[in-house]
């Protein structure tokens, strides 16, 4: 039913006006003072009856009445142009009056009656909107379950503070709002979707917040979006306990962080820390790390010679659980280097046995990283010294005093006695000084003898000795393989560089030996494109942060870094995040049925089985192949773009397999007079020009129209990586997909 025809349209307008006015009053009041409240209310509403019955003065003195946090106020201000998006009427079983609930992005109470004017989408009762159908329902809130009847479910389209449309959802209507929202053209930025969150997505957003979660989701199933909404939900639920700065988002590139940046303030999660993995490692270890610019992905794409295969194998190995075995063994060995050879003496007094020292080092302080254990032990020794100080000094005094006593009673020449006693007194003073000095320094000196190195030294040292490396592997690698790893790594270190695949193990060592500073840890971490992380990277992050509270979202079908990333979720689930809930999302919201059907064909070419992606029913044009003759293709894109712009599409991307084809496209499209931007990893996405981007950087992004190009580089069916890159490319468009190439087969189109 459209706006004008809806019988309750007028009523909804009134309700909206009331809400907006009330919001204004609350905003104004919190900006001025409590005393102003009544005045503000009267100005806004006149002397309405309900004002008189409210018992203001009492309420006004209530603690917390006006205590609105800055962020609450900010969200209220932001919500002014669209206070809510849906209404649900709910009759509880116990027969109270039906509750009329308006759901929005923030909550607002009527201060006088404590009735909710707007209910936050993250509150438990919002499940009624996301999951409840008309009729009898049950929902759980704070461990309690409520039952009742939904008598009305209504969507309210509000723009710039005015009501545009009212739609009631009955049992049969499909979700028109979702359809509409999906059919819009994109703005190059991720959006919030609170009004159209789907049931399967809602479950993931609200899944047990005390457990980690792993989501395998098809391209366009909303993984990124959901991950951000889950953080928003988390912040809301734990607002008293958590500072949003304790949350961290790990994204694949700066480009991607830029892409999601617009949705963050909308969801109130802009304060979450945002890093790429490499950035975080450098932040955690407190030192910049020079990364090699050898792009293995490009090497894999370009050639498959033996040395590339070896290099890839090394990368994969450094990310694997086998490497963990080696690192753990190595750390055990490092611990042994900290076993003292002798007991701890202060001067000649034995104060602490080495056996006890080792016991504390190995067991008592198990929860601390090695170097912190050593620091603790220094304190332990120091405390023992302190406790024994009197005793030790007493012993010295006792010894010389006894000597002096003996001399005093001995029948000897007084001159000799005097000389002897003076000597004893001098000796006593000298010894006391010696012991006092030892008391001051012994613990320090004892610890000083232990080795002191940094994480980089330790990491590099691991590759010093092939035999030892193979030994640590305990059968996981042969000596030849160990030699390969050592050679490769030393070549790299000699050029004073590391690779991304070193950063996982490096962080792991750092965390175990030194520990990450508290302020550099996060309490809840979201990882997008998690399929591109290796086992070691994930384990290192968990160890570094000292928590398993991770949200991992990814898609194995888009695992283009699988030479160093994950091939399945199983091992990570079992060994790194055993408490995690695992979910799958199969429905894709991004693209049309026609495009998804074509992309789905590629999944069959992959060596593992992934369920076919189900597109939400939204139709569009079939993807089209256009033969790209040498000089003409750029002009054709120009004409096509102009036509599509007229049709209302706003964002366009030319996606090539690698940077090489993209660079060519950049040149040719510029010559054809198009305004284009070639995207690099560090770039931000321009809003008003056609972007050119290599497939591996396009991951996670979306555009209204995609031109997949194959100028000189073709996609080969036998190569898993090619299939995945093409899959990524084909799942980027929201509406239209065109292939520009020499022949269809170059895009594996049959």
Which parts of this chain interact with ligand ATP (CB under 6 A)?
178, 181-182, 191, 193, 196-198, 201, 217, 219-225, 555, 558, 589-590, 700, 702, 731
CA dist., res. 372 & res. 511, Å (int): 11
Residue whose token pair is 């022949």: 743
Q: Under DSSP, is residue 94 helix (H, G, I), strand (E, B) or coil? A: coil
Q: Under DSSP, is residue 674 helix (H, G, I), strand (E, B) or coil? A: coil
Our separate counts of H helices and E strands in the chain read 29, 23
Q: For residue 521, what are its two tokens?
A: 């840890």
Distance in Å, CB of 254 to ligand ATP, minimum: 16
Distance in Å, CB of 222 to ligand ATP, minimum: 3
Q: Compare residues 222 and 244 and give the one whose CB is closer to ligand ATP.
A: 222
Residues tagged in the binding site annotation: 217-224
Distance in Å, CB of 700 to ligand ATP, minimum: 4
Q: Compare residues 322 and 732 and give the one whose CB is closer to ligand ATP.
A: 732
Q: For residue 255, what are its two tokens?
A: 């480009």
Distance in Å, CB of 178 to ligand ATP, minimum: 5
Q: Compare residues 319 and 700 and give the one whose CB is closer to ligand ATP.
A: 700
CA dist., res. 520 & res. 4, Å (int): 55
Distance in Å, CB of 42 to ligand ATP, minimum: 42
Task: Name every residue whose Cβ is closer than 8 Å to that of residue 440 and which is 6 or more positions away in sequence.
Answer: none
Q: Compare residues 244 and 554 and give the one whose CB is closer to ligand ATP.
A: 554
Task: Name every residue whose Cβ is closer than 8 Å to that of residue 516 and which is 6 or more positions away in sequence.
Answer: 284, 510, 544, 545, 546
Task: Name every residue whose Cβ is closer than 8 Å to that of residue 457 and which is 6 or more positions away in sequence.
Answer: none
Residues tagged in the binding site annotation for ATP: 217-224
Q: Compare residues 178 and 708 and give the one whose CB is closer to ligand ATP.
A: 178
CA dist., res. 55 & res. 58, Å (int): 6
Q: Among 427, 423, 335, 437, which residue's Cα sits nearest to residue 385?
A: 437
Distance in Å, CB of 556 to ligand ATP, minimum: 11
Distance in Å, CB of 743 to ligand ATP, minimum: 27
Interhelix angle for 321-337 vs 370-409, to 10°?
Answer: 10
Q: For residue 357, what are its two tokens?
A: 């020292």
Q: Compare residues 181 and 372 and give the one whose CB is closer to ligand ATP.
A: 181
CA dist., res. 169 & res. 695, Å (int): 40
Parallel, antiparallel or unpaired: strands 116-120 and 108-109: antiparallel
Q: Compare residues 192 and 499 and give the one whose CB is closer to ligand ATP.
A: 192
Q: For residue 465, what are its two tokens?
A: 């000795």
Q: Compare residues 99 and 258 and give the one whose CB is closer to ligand ATP.
A: 258
Q: Compare residues 177 and 455 and give the one whose CB is closer to ligand ATP.
A: 177
- Contact 737/727 with Cβ under 8 angstroms? no
CA dist., res. 177 & res. 32, Å (int): 39
Distance in Å, CB of 590 to ligand ATP, minimum: 4
Where helices occur in 579-719 by DSSP H, the ranges are 593-603, 633-646, 659-671, 695-698
CA dist., res. 606 & res. 602, Å (int): 7
Distance in Å, CB of 303 to ligand ATP, minimum: 28
Task: Name every residue whose Cβ is closer than 8 Å to that of residue 406 and which is 6 or more positions away in sequence.
Answer: none
């Amino acid at each position: 039913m459209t706006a004008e025809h809806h019988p309750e349209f007028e009523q909804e307008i009134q309700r909206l006006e009331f809400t907006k006015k009330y919001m204004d009053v609350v905003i104004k009041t919190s900006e001025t003072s409590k005393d102003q409240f009544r005045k503000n209310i009267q100005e806004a509403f006149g002397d309405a009856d309900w004002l008189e019955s409210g018992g203001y003065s009492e309420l006004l003195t209530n603690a917390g009445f006006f205590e609105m946090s800055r962020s609450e106020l900010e969200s209220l201000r932001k919500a002014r142009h669209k206070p809510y998006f849906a209404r649900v009427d709910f009759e509880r079983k116990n027969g109270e009056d039906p509750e009329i609930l308006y759901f929005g992005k923030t909550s607002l109470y009527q201060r006088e009656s404590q009735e909710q004017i707007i209910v936050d989408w993250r509150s438990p009762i919002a499940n009624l909107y996301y999951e409840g159908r008309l009729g009898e329902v049950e929902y759980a809130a704070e461990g309690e379950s409520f039952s009742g009847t939904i008598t009305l479910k209504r969507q309210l389209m509000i723009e710039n503070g005015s009501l545009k449309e009212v739609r009631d959802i009955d049992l049969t209507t499909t979700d028109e709002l979702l359809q509409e929202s999906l059919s819009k053209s994109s703005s190059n930025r991720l959006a919030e979707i609170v009004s159209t969150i789907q049931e399967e997505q809602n479950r993931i957003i609200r899944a047990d917040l005390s457990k980690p979660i792993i989501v395998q989701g098809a391209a366009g199933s909303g993984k990124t979006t959901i991950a951000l909404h889950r953080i928003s939900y988390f912040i809301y639920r734990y607002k008293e306990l958590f500072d949003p700065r304790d949350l961290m988002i790990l994204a694949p590139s700066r480009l991607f962080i830029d892409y999601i940046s617009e949705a963050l303030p909308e969801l109130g999660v802009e304060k979450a820390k945002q890093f790429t993995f490499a950035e975080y490692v450098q932040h955690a270890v407190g030192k910049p790390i020079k990364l090699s610019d050898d792009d293995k992905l490009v090497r894999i794409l370009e050639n498959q010679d033996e040395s590339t295969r070896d290099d890839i194998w090394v990368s994969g190995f450094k990310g694997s659980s086998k490497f963990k075995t080696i690192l753990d063994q190595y750390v055990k060995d490092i611990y042994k280097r900290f076993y003292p050879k002798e007991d701890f003496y202060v001067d000649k007094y034995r104060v602490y046995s080495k056996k006890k020292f080792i016991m504390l080092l190995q067991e008592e302080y198990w929860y601390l990283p090695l170097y912190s254990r050593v620091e603790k032990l220094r304190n332990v020794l120091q405390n023992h010294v302190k406790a024994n100080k009197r005793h030790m000094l007493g012993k010295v005094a006792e010894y010389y005093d006894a000597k002096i006593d003996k001399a005093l009673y001995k029948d000897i020449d007084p001159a000799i006695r005097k000389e002897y006693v003076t000597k004893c007194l001098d000796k006593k003073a000298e010894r006391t000084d010696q012991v006092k000095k030892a008391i001051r320094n012994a613990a320090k000196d004892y610890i000083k003898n232990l080795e002191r190195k940094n994480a980089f030294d330790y990491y590099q040292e691991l590759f010093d000795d092939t035999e030892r490396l193979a030994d640590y592997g305990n059968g996981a690698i042969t000596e030849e393989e160990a030699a390969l790893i050592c050679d490769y790594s030393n070549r790299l270190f000699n050029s004073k560089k590391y690779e991304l695949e070193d950063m996982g193990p490096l962080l792991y060592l750092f965390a175990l030996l030194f520990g990450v500073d508290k302020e550099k840890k996060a309490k809840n971490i979201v990882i997008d494109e998690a399929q591109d992380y290796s086992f070691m990277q994930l384990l290192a992050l968990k160890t570094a942060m000292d928590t398993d509270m991770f949200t991992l979202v990814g898609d194995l079908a888009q695992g283009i870094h699988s030479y160093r990333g994950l091939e399945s979720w199983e091992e990570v689930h079992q060994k790194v995040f055993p408490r995690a809930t695992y979910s799958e999302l199969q429905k894709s919201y991004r693209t049309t049925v026609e495009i998804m059907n074509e992309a789905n064909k590629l999944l069959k070419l992959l060596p593992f089985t992934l369920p076919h992606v189900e597109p939400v029913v939204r139709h569009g044009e079939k993807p089209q192949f256009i033969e790209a003759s040498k000089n003409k293709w750029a002009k054709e894109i120009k004409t096509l773009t102009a036509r599509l712009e007229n049709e209302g599409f706003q964002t366009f991307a030319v996606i090539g397999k690698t940077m090489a084809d993209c660079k060519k496209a950049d040149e040719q499209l510029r010559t054809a007079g198009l305004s284009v931007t070639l995207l690099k990893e560090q770039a931000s996405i321009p809003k008003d020009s056609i972007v050119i981007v290599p497939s591996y950087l396009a991951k996670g992004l979306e555009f209204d129209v995609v031109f997949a190009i194959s100028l000189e580089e073709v996609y080969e069916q036998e190569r898993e990586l090619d299939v995945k890159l093409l899959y990524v490319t084909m799942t980027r468009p929201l509406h239209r997909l065109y292939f520009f190439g020499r022949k269809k087969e170059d895009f594996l189109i049959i």
